[in-house]
Amino acid sequence: MEQIIIHVDMDAFFASVETRDNPALRGKPLIIGSLPGERGVVATCSYEARRYGIRSAMNIKEAYRRCPQGIYMRPNIDKYKAVSGQLHEIWDTYASAAEAIALDEAYLDVTEQAGNLEGARRIAMTIKRRIREEIGLTCSVGVAYSKTAAKTASEEKKPDGYFEIPTPQDFIALMIDRDVRSLYTVGEMTAEKLYASGIRTVRDVQEKRDTVVRLLGKQGQWLARLAFGIDERKVTPYRPQDAKSIGREVTFQEDVDDYALLQDVLVLLALCVERRAKRYGLYGNGVTLKITYFDMKGITRSRLTSACDCAAMIWQEAVRLLDSVEKRPVRLIGVAIYNLSGEEGRQLTLEDCFTDVRQRRDEELKRLLDALQDRYHLDFAGHLDQIYQMDTLHRTVEYMRKHI
């Protein structure tokens, strides 16, 4: 076995954390996400809720239609991040490289530590035991020769499961007669294209490889290799600077046609982007504005900038972009910085050279925040840090919308 990879996936992570902290929720259909009557979707749900057909990304209104007796909660992202940090401390102990792909999910390269399949099995069981005993949660673990096979293995025996796929031949034997949707990266739209050409199973992908490549191009080449158990990707530790962008967005509970309000909301979004960028020591060399209109038509507008991570500059560029878009009722607005670089790769700007430039931007941000406090009767004194929490941000934005 050239490489040995473990894939760890927490079981219904958000819901499990809430159930751990409140045992009265145990055994009940718990749905984490937006609340009934609001716009939004399901973030995750307990296994009891899944029996009603509820799943992640489902519209919250549809979830409520299926399970009106469920318990609905907004996510507490800060709490989940704290638990995720504990999980990563355990995972990192056993891997030469760990690739986190979500708060609750990671690939671990244990080739050197394990030595062989039996060693990997011991590591996997140790990870499961420590998570259960030290954090009070359960996870499902897959051990395999590749990332795709390890992820497939972790999904085989959920919840609290363990499964092994030692070789490509074992992967093929397991997957050969399954629906194409079981292959990594095949979503609903890709599956429909394949179905229309008579390709419904992994076996069909193998037998009609040329058709798959013709239909899907590079993705088709990837799927054809996967159908034969081939995936040579390495476990690559995540670095913040590898991200394409840093952003934050909000969805309004009612469409907004007051563009002055949208400018005010951009102040708070820019603050959130600034904080995350500075946490990682990153700068953006461009600003992007994202808008979804009332009819679900989405647009993005971007501007190249000098290196920036300050809220005032992000806000100024976002407002310029907002001024350029069609003025129609807005359902969602977001802002991001892109073309990210760290301190070592950043070109000097006027702000670096002149203290008065930095001071003016600090003063501009204070002016913007003071205006928000006056206009909406907000009180940021001593509470501004809370605005970075998703729930607080959404509640503040809704308050502003109702008090225009």
Catalytic residues: 105
Residue 166, SS3 per DSSP: coil
Helix 77-93 vs helix 13-21: crossing angle, to nearest 10: 100
Paired tokens of 390: 């998703």
Give per-residue burial for 12-21: e unless 16+ CB within 10 Å, then b: bbbbbbbbee
Tell me if 74 sits within 8 A of 14, measured CB to CB: no
84-to-62, 80, 87, 95, 275 alpha-carbon distances in Å:
29, 6, 5, 16, 20
What one-letter code names the amino acid at 358? Answer: R
Contacts 24+ apart (CB under 8 A), 38-47: 38/253, 39/251, 39/252, 39/253, 39/331, 40/251, 43/14, 43/75, 44/12, 44/13, 44/14, 44/15, 45/12, 45/15, 45/70, 46/12, 46/15, 46/16, 46/19, 47/11, 47/12, 47/159
41-to-54, 57, 75, 216 alpha-carbon distances in Å:
11, 5, 11, 30
Among 4, 8, 20, smallest CA distance to 127 is for: 8
Q: What one-character-per-residue DSSP string does 213-273 give? A: HHHHTHHHHHHHHHHTT---PPP----GGGSSEEEEEEEEEEEE--HHHHHHHHHHHHHHH
Tell me if 385 sits within 8 A of 358, measured CB to CB: no
What one-letter code names the amino acid at 64? Answer: Y
